[in-house]
Structure 1
Amino acid sequence: METTLCEEIEKIQITKDVPIPTKKQCHLLVENSYKNPITGRKLDPNAPNGLYRKMVNECKDIQKELDQLAKPKDAPYKPELDIYEDTHKKVLRLRLRNALRKALRPILNHRDTLENRIHYAKVVRTYLNHVQSCIHSSKQNPLKVALFEEKEGHLKEMIYFDRRIGSESVYGTAYLNTGKGLARVLKFSIKIMSDRFTSEVDLLKKMSQLAEKGTSPNMPITYAVKKCITPKDMTLLKNPSAIKLMKTGGYYVVLNELANGDTHDFFKFTYTNREYESVITQMLFALQAFHNLGYVHNDAHLGNFLWHKISPGGFWQYQYNNTIIYVPNTGYLMVLWDPGFAKQKRLPDLYPNIDFYRTIRLLMSISTSKYYQDKNMIGIDIEALRPFDKILYTMISNDLVKSSFIKTFIEVFDNLKLFHHIYYKNKKVNTLPPNSVILNKIPYKL
């Protein structure tokens, strides 16, 4: 992890292209503008964006910071040289802190954009590069479990299993996990599942590729998949934190990005109609992207949609044929999850629209369902549901099996104008408000 952060810091302009000069070196630069006072190499003072101009600006910035830090204070007098040395060290510390913040920003804010999510995945994969496939008892806390890497003949703990999410299930057991040391900033979820579920693991990888290739932001990213055949750590047999699969072997360790929760949690609060339209549209577009893989999800209940809290603002653009659909980023990114019951579309009696039908019907039933009321979920405003109710009605009227969800979605736009916060563009019209910010230059595919 330390190497990765250093590599990020080296990319920062001031530490790579423009080294921080000392006061003396700034004076030398003024005296001889044709010579680099740090390296002794030639400089071209006339180059518009050359190193000379950058170093001059750097010297000016440093002098401003030194002047600010060297203002008189209620402290014993110090000679000018001592003041300069003290304040110069402060400047260096401040700039190192800012460099670290810049390097860590994509990690700490990794949910904010698809680009940050992809960058974060690369950082996690670098950290996981040599992690072993089988889980062991923790060396630091023998009552806990961890993943290790073998380094110079010794096992080194790399991933902690902080706590279990939910209960042990035949379909898998999920955990909240973190790295070790500096890598504690790396947080993700691990699912332990039997190696019988190969098709689900393969589908998770395909879903992850949809996100990482920029096809759909509404897919989960899988960081890595490890397969443990036979565990060698016999202490697991008496470890209370070890589930049965960890003791017997024959399991997958699937490392995924960590969401804020599922929509059972999300709909425990009320939102604006703009937020509802954005969230529900994302859920349906996630299903559409999944169907493009050639599968029906077949289990599209509200617990299988995850949400990420992100910075709000701007619009995501999606494309279907010649129509662009603009979905507002209201601060919530929705992601489809758990393809464990997915089936190929070509199988009899399985058609994609069953996923849309189930999702919309469940959303409409939140206010009346005892199951959802027992979870303290709050019903969605009728006006916010109206466009989706109309989509469902139109699809049923046109024979749900044969009709196309996305075509019906666009028809509701074009003919009924029921959406108030989602916009579209085709050859005839563009309803997007002027000066709107588009978040992705290349539209996501539907």
Structure 2
Amino acid sequence: MPRVFDASIRAANRLAHLVPGGAHTYAKGPDQYPADCPVVIERGLGSHVWDVDGNEYVEYGSGLRAVILGHAHPRVVEAVAATLGNGTNFVRPSLLELQAAEDFLAAVPTMEMVKFAKNGSDVTTAAAKLARAATGRDVIGICRDQPFFSTDDWFIGTTPMASGIPESTRELTVSFPYGDLDAARLMFDAYDGRIAAIFLEVESGGTTPPPGYLRGLIDLAHRRGAVVVFDEMITGFRWALGGAHSLHGVTPDLCTFGKAIGNGFSVSALAGRRDLMELGGLNTAADRVFLLSTTHGAESTGLAALRATIQVHRDDDVARRLMTIGARLREAVEAVVAEAGLSDYVQVRGRDCNLVFATLDETGSPSQPYRTLFMRQLIHHGVVGPSFVVSAALSDADIETTAAAVGAALPVYAQALESGDATPFLGGRSVKPVFRARV
């Protein structure tokens, strides 16, 4: 039976009228999904979600990779519910703040101190400020091959969506490519004595760093007097409970966590060396840094969710489970695609715990129209998501459903390739990249 999206379309139209961009996160916006099946979600449980029309889906990339255990995980829900009865925000620190800090630092033993906030951008910007205060320098170096570090001006000024950001701010962020130490040296040479910190994800696109690269980059930065910040927003808890850096035997000066650490509840963390972190505290002779001071930074539900999520990781070896699920999914999807003879056009890429799909046109180039076609067909066959990023709640039956949905999408994909035009199969306009200068 064809799926009906009438209620979703009405809700999406109302959102577009009331909320700039139609969503509170650009990556969830209407321009990221096919126009005629916008899927406004009403509820979720485990690996499944239901839209406002009552359609049920297997979901991938839940909460922009945040819902790592699955929706409404019973142990997380129980912990949060118990906390609600004790109040959520107080005039002085709560015992829960101490317990959450102890649990986090036990999970990420390379770090010595931690401060919590609500969003990833809060803590990455705090890390930039801390590095500038510690070094007395003004320039931040970011890895240009990685898509996102913060909603704040110091990063967004480097994207095509730089409107409203002064040129003087934009000039203070420079970039270097992943995996190339010589290029990093050239960046330090070009801004000699000015780079306060370098920011990067430990792995780029799920690929393992070249041998010695991370160690060499840290040593280079330290020789040049810069702070090293690892962004573990995606990798933290997903690659390993201790973060991706724990798998590579290297330790940054600071690291930032968010997304999956609270299984969808709002909590993020800036962690690092004691001497750096104390610049934002009270035990320093240096000028104080206004590091992180937010009304809801230590609000109880996020911290309770963090503690419960850490315990589930320990009990269920979640990182290993994600790799196992992802490997099964990759194998199932690739088998269906190979059988259809489309392996050159529809591809599964990335680390098994963090898979994405690539949609290529008849020339072998990445294509937003073909992405739209593929996503639209998946939605009509019971699978929704911008990627194949797994949660621990996915079952073998879910993987079978996904493989079947891909199989149903491929004949349509082949038709478009044969004609050289995906437009008739899109249901409206094509999806577009988040970062673009014009609508």
State the TM-score bracket (shorter-chain normalisation).
under 0.3
TM-score by length of 2: 0.25
Higher strand residue share: 1
Could you tell me the TM-score, scaled by structure 1's length?
0.25
Query: Which one has the largest radius of gyration?
Result: 1
